[in-house]
Homo-oligomer: A and B are copies of this chain.
């Protein structure tokens, strides 16, 4: 596997239109994983920034009217240029604005990858294709008991959207329309810091931008890398008897030190055709 070494060699520039809560973490994780970040959300420069980048992240964590326009412009330009575009529909389903914005983005932009938790991805499903209103009748948690159901759902959504689907939680599912991966890495402490999901979405964009012929495997690599680094960070935090802020630092540290061999040794993935 040379997915990570491709990122470190190519240093893909990633345009992020993302929320202001975790934007610093996203920039730092992009640098740590081998990419390079540009945050720019003004409509006047969105297309130009996208043009000089290799990938685009659209994250709706702190939505407002001004930035939605920029998201559409950036996404359309990325599509035009054949670049990677990754959607993080933070909070889709929680408010009308977030749900409708998600639907709007799905209509205007062809995404390469969509990453969210199961609840957000179910909302994405409702706004995709012609079968609107058909609710995915699955629980809001991925467990060993409903894995097959979630996989079938992810594959179906990938078929509808044309995007690789990454559903993250205690267990992670990454799927395209024909193949899925189950990833069992990570640690519960990851939910005790803000930004784990946003950082992962950034990494997905960098990994895919440096491996555009292999988006499914690049996404699996990013998701498993984040989970495995969470395990490394937890071990270090526990050794120091430290708390959640130390954990966040150790997580970014681990991503900055990761290579392909370490990831192959540490990740726990299972594939399903």
Q: How far is the CB of A229 from chain B (nearest CB, A)?
A: 10
Instruction: Flag whether A188 is at the interface (Cβ < 8 A).
Output: no
Please indicate the chain B residues that have their CB under 8 angstroms from the CB of A32 in the complex: 192, 243-245
Asked if B254 and A243 sit within 8 Å, CB to CB, the answer is yes
Given contacts A253-B244, A253-B246, is CB(A19)–CB(B45) below 8 Å? no
Pick from B38, B94, B194: contact of A28, CB under 8 Å: B194
| CB-defined contacts of A83 to chain B, threshold 8 Å | none
Give A47's nearest chain B residue, CB to CB.
Answer: B95
A36-67 vs B, Cβ < 8 Å mask (1 yes, 0 no): 01111110110011001000000001111110
B243–A246 CB distance below 8 A: no
Q: Is A25 an interface residue (CB 8 A)?
A: yes
Q: How far is the CB of A189 from chain B (nearest CB, A)?
A: 9
Is there an interface contact between B28 and A41, defined as CB atoms closer than 8 Å? no
* Candidates B39, B52, B244, B252; contact of A31 at CB < 8 Å: B244
CA distance A245 to B32 in the complex (A): 8
**A192 x B256 contact (CB < 8 A):** yes
- What is the copy number of this chain in the assembly? 3
Are A24 and B195 closer than 8 Å at their CB atoms? yes
Most buried by B among A39, A94, A194, A250: A194
Q: How far is the CB of A244 from chain B (nearest CB, A)?
A: 4
Residues of B within 8 A of A242 (CB): 253
Cα distance A78–B232 in the bound complex, in angstroms:
41
Q: How far is the CA of A253 from the CA of B248 in the complex (A)?
A: 10
Closest 9 CB pairs of A and B: A243-B253, A245-B252, A243-B256, A27-B194, A45-B97, A244-B256, A45-B95, A48-B95, A245-B249
A-B contact pairs, 21 of them (CB 8 A): A19-B39, A24-B195, A28-B244, A31-B191, A32-B245, A37-B194, A39-B61, A41-B64, A42-B64, A42-B97, A45-B98, A48-B94, A242-B253, A243-B252, A243-B255, A243-B257, A244-B256, A245-B248, A245-B252, A245-B253, A246-B253
A residues lining the B interface (CB < 8 Å): 19-25, 27-28, 31-32, 37-42, 44-45, 48-49, 52, 61-66, 91, 94-98, 191-195, 242-246, 248-257
